[in-house]
Amino acid sequence: MLDPYPKLYRLIFGLLEPAGLLGGAAFAILFPNQFHHAYLGSGWLGDASRGSQAGQKGVLVASGMGTCRLIIGVMSSVLLPTFQKTLKGQPQLHETLLRSYLGCLLIGDFAHTFVTLYYTPADVRWHPFSRWTLLLWGNIAGTIFPNFARLAWFAGIGRRGRAVQL
């Protein structure tokens, strides 16, 4: 039986990922104009190049993105420790729930990365080292890194023991 939730994965999925999500959520919700400007930078879209004011639509989008991050960050912060605590003696059930949870995040993160890059203007998308903002880099890297960790979890990497048939 593979260890369903070893320390490395608890660190990644239970601490680092939720901290990044909650930090991003706080920035987007509390400072939506600054978030909008930091995400798009100067010159991407009309109102981003006119200063730090995102306008009502930009504030709505930034705060909506923030609340999505908040939901996922809170879920990770609450559900994963709850799984760990209540299912410690039931590794097969623990693995089944983690597989479903991490699978949902994997699909959502692939979609998020694809959609973000698809809708990023082509002259920005294909020049990450000269045109991407720090926040765009953080968004993409902050989505891809946990996905590699999820894929490693599914592959059994770093999970000692023998595979369980579910």
Three-state secondary structure readout of the chain: CCCCCCHHHHHHHHHHHHHHHHHHHHHHHHCHHHHHHHHHCCCCCHHHHCCCCCHHHHHHHHHHHHHHHHHHHHHHHHHHHHHHHHCCCCHHHHHHHHHHHHHHHHHHHHHHHHHHHHHCCHHHHCCHHHHCCHHHHHHHHHHHHHHHHHHHHHHCCCCCCCCCCC
Higher-pLDDT residue of 156, 51: 156
pTM above 0.75, yes or no: yes
pLDDT at 47: 47
- Read off the pLDDT of residues 44-103 as tens digits, 9 standing for 90 and up: 655 444 444 678 888 898 999 999 999 999 999 999 999 999 998 999 999 999 999 999
Task: Give residue 165's pLDDT.
Answer: 47
Q: Share the mean pLDDT of the chain.
A: 88
For range 125-138, the mean pLDDT: 92
